[in-house]
Amino acid sequence: MITFSNVSLIYPHSINTVLEDLSFTLEEGEFVLVMGATGSGKSSLLRLINGLVPHHTGGILAGDISVDGISTRQVKPGGLSHLIGIVGQNPLNGFVCDKVEEEIAFGMETLNFPTDVMRKRVEEVLDLLSLTNLRERSIATLSGGEQQRVAIASALVMHPKVLVLDEPTSALDPIAAEEVLSILQRLVHDLSLTIVISEHRLERVIQFVDRIIHIQGGGVATIGLAQDILRDSPIAPPIVNLSRALNLPEISLTVRDMRRATQDIRRQYSDSTRKSILPMVATEIIELEKLRVAYGGHQALKGVSLKIYSQEIVAIMGRNGAGKSTLLRSIAGVQKRCCRASTHLRS
């Protein structure tokens, strides 16, 4: 489906080669992760797939890239829109309509699709991505996960064979990210879509992918199975680092695999042999008492009380829009608070 043949890329005025003599083939129905350090060239590789690089961004390109037999040298990105769907890191920046249904139909309207075809396809993707109850909603009122689903729907409605996503879960909480990745996996299995995704939070996506393209910098890139790439990669999720620390014969990519691989190790540590951890002597430094914060008619925090002590590391968890940032701003004293709320900082 996607073939890179001896591809090399460098940008003018840059001393670093992005890619050098890279060759690989991605088959139909593959789910592939592109990983690498910030600035290593992940986004450039994604944009090479549909010709945004170098047609729109510039750059010196050698070699050839083809998608479904069409060379990106021969056509501009618009000529591949029927084959490739693109979902950016922040979908809100790419939306052009106010309502969900209008945004999904926009791409077909620009290409003058027949009305009956547009109506059918919109209904299909609304049902596929569980967006039917949101069809009349304003996009600005949607959560991050819902916006990502709308962006994916806007790409899928064109019936592409390839879907390219640039860090689609970067702004999502774990539950919303799991929903988006599960939908992508279903598209691979049900529609045989080829998906190429870049992601920094590897622990979220490695259990779904078939192969990994690791961009190591300096033009070096390798492609292989997830276990093979992560075995020696300096960039790895915590579960892989644990596999290495325990010297396990196989790299575990999921919690289930890790539990199976460590059965014997865990049996060695029963409750009777575990060392007790002595509590640290700590002083109270932050106290919240019945904290309430409201934005207009929306109650962001309601009656939150807690104490935080020195030498503690405290994690604040919750879905997008649950009030995590509001709580942090309240602690820092930069958030307006409602009546009967108090925050004490102690040193």
Final residue in a domain of this structure, among 242, 276, 310: 242
Same-domain pairing of 218 and 167: yes
Same-domain pairing of 46 and 173: yes
Query: Strand locations in the chain, DSSP E?
Result: 2-10, 17-26, 31-36, 60-67, 70-71, 84-87, 162-166, 194-198, 211-217, 220-225, 284-295, 298-309, 342-345
- 194-198/162-166 β-pairing: parallel
Same-domain pairing of 192 and 332: no
Same-domain pairing of 59 and 180: yes
Please report whether residue 324 resides in a domain: yes
Could you give the CA distance from residue 122 to residue 39 in angstroms, rounded to a whole number? Answer: 37
Could you give the CA distance from residue 63 to residue 22 in angstroms, rounded to a whole number? Answer: 9
Please report whether residue 232 resides in a domain: yes
Q: What is the DSSP string of 116-174?
A: HHHHHHHHHHHHHTT-GGGTTSBGGGS-HHHHHHHHHHHHHTT--SEEEEESTTTTS-H
Same-domain pairing of 69 and 165: yes
Query: Which of 108, 112, 147, 107 is closest to 131 using CA atoms?
Result: 147
Please report whether residue 250 resides in a domain: no
Please report whether residue 136 resides in a domain: no
Judged by DSSP in three states, 345 sits in strand
pLDDT for 317 equals 85
CATH number at residue 327: 3.40.50.300
Note down the domain range covering 324: 284-345
Our count of domains for the chain comes to 2
Q: Are 42 and 235 in contact (CB under 8 A)?
A: no
Please report whether residue 264 resides in a domain: no
Q: Are 343 and 287 in contact (CB under 8 A)?
A: yes
pLDDT for 115 equals 92
Same-domain pairing of 236 and 307: no
Same-domain pairing of 56 and 201: yes
Same-domain pairing of 74 and 164: yes
Same-domain pairing of 302 and 189: no
Please report whether residue 30 resides in a domain: yes
pLDDT for 342 equals 47
pLDDT for 9 equals 92
Q: How many CA atoms lie within 13 A of 147 on its CB side?
A: 25
Final residue in a domain of this structure, among 183, 217, 242: 242
Same-domain pairing of 6 and 67: yes
For the chain, 347 residues long, the average pLDDT of each consecutive 10-residue run is 92 83 93 91 90 85 91 85 86 89 92 92 89 90 84 90 88 80 88 92 90 91 91 89 88 87 78 50 83 81 87 83 84 65 48
Please report whether residue 19 resides in a domain: yes
